[in-house]
Every structure is written in structure tokens, then in C-alpha cells.
Structure 1
Amino acid sequence: MSTLLLPLVMIAVLFMLFRSNKKRQEQATQMRSAMEPGSGVRTIGGMYALVKSVNEETVELEIAPGVVTHFIKSAIAAVLDPQEYDAIINGRPAEDEPADEVADEEEAADAKPLSLEKDAPEDVKDKGSADGEAPAAK
């Protein structure tokens, strides 16, 4: 009895796998059909670009101003909303985050330059750079 049940279970599992794969393919086809010139996309390699034109099997993407490349349609991983693309490419703040806080944080970061040197007296730092030798380690 169990010998008859095992093949039926395997067939059911295979059917479910093929069905989910078919759904994924249909979703990918719908997503790629939504591409039109001006859309922002992400490739399977993680590159963000703007769609310049859509051909039958390929798509022309502008990866930098004036730099247009050709990709096969299946290389497009996602078609992005205009707001999402703008936020990723231009580093715009999220809609729920006020722009003033971001500007204040940037001003604070610009006010105090970062240094990789440990806190040492100024005369030790100057001596090392003046005569070409590294400052003495503590």
C-alpha cells in the first residue's frame, strides 16, 4: 500500500513545483511588459538604469548620462516606481523622514572632519609629518 502512495506524493510535489515556477514566470513577464521608456529598472546584477527603448528581445538602458547599453529583457530583475528610483539614484530622503533633519545631520558631519589618527597631542602629529617620519607610537 505504501509503495503506491509514494509515487502519488512525488507526482503531487512535482505538480506544485511546476505550478509555482509557472506563476513566477508569468509575474516576470508581466513586470517586463510594464517597462516603457523613462522607467527606472534594476538588473539582475544590481545595476540601476533608465529605460531608453524597449525592443522585442532587448532593452536599451541609460546607465549614466549619455551612456546607453543593450540588455536582454530577462536581465531585468525589477521595474521600480519613479519615487523609489529617484530615492535610490539621487539619495533623496524617504517621504516619512523630514528633509530638515537630514540637512542638519549633513551640516554637523561637515563641521567636524573625521580623522583616522588616534587622539594624540598636536606636536606629535606635526613632528611626524614635518620630517617625513611616522609619529612615535605610544
Structure 2
Amino acid sequence: MNQTVVFLPLLVVMGAFMYFASRRQKRAMQATIDLHESLRVGDRVHTTSGLHGTITRITDDDVDLEIAPGVVTTWMKLAIRDRVEPEILDSGADEADDLADDPERLPRD
């Protein structure tokens, strides 16, 4: 009887850990499935091996990626890690370029 009381908190902690770990894994798996279902021709993507490419064709299990002009490779859909979002230009960078062009506007030490 005394031994079961000692192991009960350990079993509860291990059960809670396994429950939350499986929930996190299910959420990650669902996010990957949602990504693969939302892929469209023209999307820029990363593969799991780090390759960047643009999707030119999609089938049920495969995608064709253009990795350079005229160079198309076929990949399993599962190899797509994420979509590359287009970069938004920062207006502060334009201002820095303007300052560099006009030395009189540069801050002095």
C-alpha cells in the first residue's frame, strides 16, 4: 500500500507530460498538413534540406520546384518545410540611403 502511494505522483506527472507532448505533436502535424494543402503554383518555399524554390506544378504527392531559371526538380510534398513570405521593404532603409547620399545630413560626432 505504501509503495503505491510513492509511485502515484510519479505516474500522474508522467501521464501529464505524455498528454501535453502528444497535443503539441498533433498541433505541429496539423499545421504541416494545413501548409501542404494550401500550397499553390507560384509560391516560394523552403525544403527540409534548405533548398529555396518556386512551385511550378503540384500533384497529390509531389511538387515541381524551379530552383533556377529553367531548372525544375521534383520533390515529395512532405519535403516542403515552409512557405517564404515576400519581404516588405522598410521605409527606414530608404531614409538611410538618402542620408548616405547627402553627407551634410549625416549626424556629426
Following superposition, the deviation at residue 15 of structure 1 comes to 0.9
The CA distance in 2 between the partners of 1:27 and 1:19, in whole Å, is 12
Where does structure 1 differ by over 6 angstroms across 4 or more consecutive aligned residues? Answer: none
With normalisation by structure 2, the TM-score equals 0.76
More strand, by proportion: 2
Following superposition, the deviation at residue 28 of structure 1 comes to 0.9
Where structure 2 has 5 or more consecutive residues not aligned to the other structure, the ranges are 102-109
Following superposition, the deviation at residue 31 of structure 1 comes to 1.3
The CA distance in 2 between the partners of 1:66 and 1:5, in whole Å, is 62
**Does residue 95 of the first structure (1) align with residue 90 of the second (2)?**
yes
**Does residue 74 of the first structure (1) align with residue 70 of the second (2)?**
no
Identity of aligned residues (%): 26
Q: Is the 8 A contact 1:32 1:79 kept in 2?
A: no
Q: 1:100 to 1:3 in 2, by over 3 A?
A: closer
2:19 to 15, 19, 30: 15
The CA distance in 1 between the partners of 2:75 and 2:55, in whole Å, is 10
Aligned ranges 1:1-138 → 2 under 5 Å: 1-81=5-85, 83-84=86-87, 94-96=89-91, 97-98=93-94, 101=97
Instruction: Deviation per CA, 1:48-90: give whole Å up to 9, x if none.
Output: 1100011111111000111111111111111122x23xx8xxx
CA RMSD of the aligned region, Å?
A: 2.1
The CA distance in 1 between the partners of 2:48 and 2:95, in whole Å, is 31
